[in-house]
Homo-oligomer: A and B are copies of this chain.
């Protein structure tokens, strides 16, 4: 199939950029030094590319992501990098046959894990972002509690998500301070694993035994601004459906239901995005550039990759004018 025959709006992945992103990260973090985070792409087909390249352990943010990976034969070592108290759902995933480790940060989540038949956990430690994770000083006590409940504690997890796009002049220092908290907790907890990090900190986080990165594969404008060595591989392919030459704007057929908007508007090369509505992006040309014509194709750069992908059924892998593969986004929903 040719790219020009794709029905729009459609997510397209540049095969070359994807492959360069993948190999750059695999060279920096080979094998199980990287635990790719499937939440960024929600596709077992894409995950299989990573497994083939030697990354056999994955993490996810939802139980459905883990279950789908097991069903796809990618369940060697899966981490739910998140808390859950859904005992019934957790029991289903444990019964799926994969090796399932889950994050716990409270007595309640430990009890649910034990009752659901989970065997292995990480103690999730808050390292500075107000989200999940126990206080570092409570990590040892929770590890004891988990062991009393019959769970094996494989180590700790702490996600410095608040530092992913921190200013470069202070990022290294801030990450070091954040990881100091995780090390303190690890000293109390024990175990082999110290899990954390992401696309924005993978190069400087030398405290974690494994890095939970996922966005680096497809990228977005938000990460793109933080000087990581990854290329924009994901675009929303759209078609111009209306042009107002007197007003100086054109309208593409992809909008709020095709793009994650929490990081603000998407962007278009050589153009200025005016605004997005449900199924449209209105934009004007950059200085001196001509307006497009009705029927022209326009590539929109998403501002945030993860919630963008979650709107779509497929990732179309393209090389030049050709669609060379289609990866179903089969890990959507909950």
Which residues of A are interface residues toward B (Cβ below 8 A)?
Answer: 7-10, 39, 61-62, 82-86, 89, 105-106, 108-109, 126, 130-133, 135, 161, 239, 241-244, 246-247, 249, 251, 253, 256-258, 260-262, 274, 276-280, 282, 293-295, 304, 306-307, 310-313, 333-334
Contact = CB atoms under 8 A, between A and B. Distances in A.
Q: Which of A109, A258, A277, A307 has the most CB of B within 10 A?
A: A307
Contact of A256 (B62, B130, B133, B306): B306
A244 B126 CA distance: 10
Contacts of A161: 277
Q: Which of A61, A105, A261, A262 has the most CB of B within 10 A?
A: A262
Given A106-B243, A294-B108, A8 B261 contact: no
Contact of A135 (B246, B261, B304): B246
11 contacts: A7-B86, A82-B253, A85-B239, A108-B293, A108-B294, A109-B241, A130-B249, A135-B244, A256-B306, A257-B307, A313-B333
A7 B61 contact: no
A294 B109 contact: yes
Contacts of A244: 126, 130, 135
A25 to B, nearest CB: 20
A280 B262 CA distance: 13
Q: Which of A108, A249, A257, A334 has the most CB of B within 10 A?
A: A257
Tell me the interface secondary structure of chain A in the complex. Answer: loop
Contacts of A279: 39, 61-62, 82
B307 A242 contact: no
Given A257-B310, A313-B333, 17 more contacts: A7-B334, A9-B334, A10-B334, A61-B278, A82-B279, A84-B241, A85-B294, A106-B294, A130-B249, A132-B241, A132-B242, A132-B280, A135-B246, A257-B306, A260-B261, A278-B306, A312-B333
Contacts of A10: 334
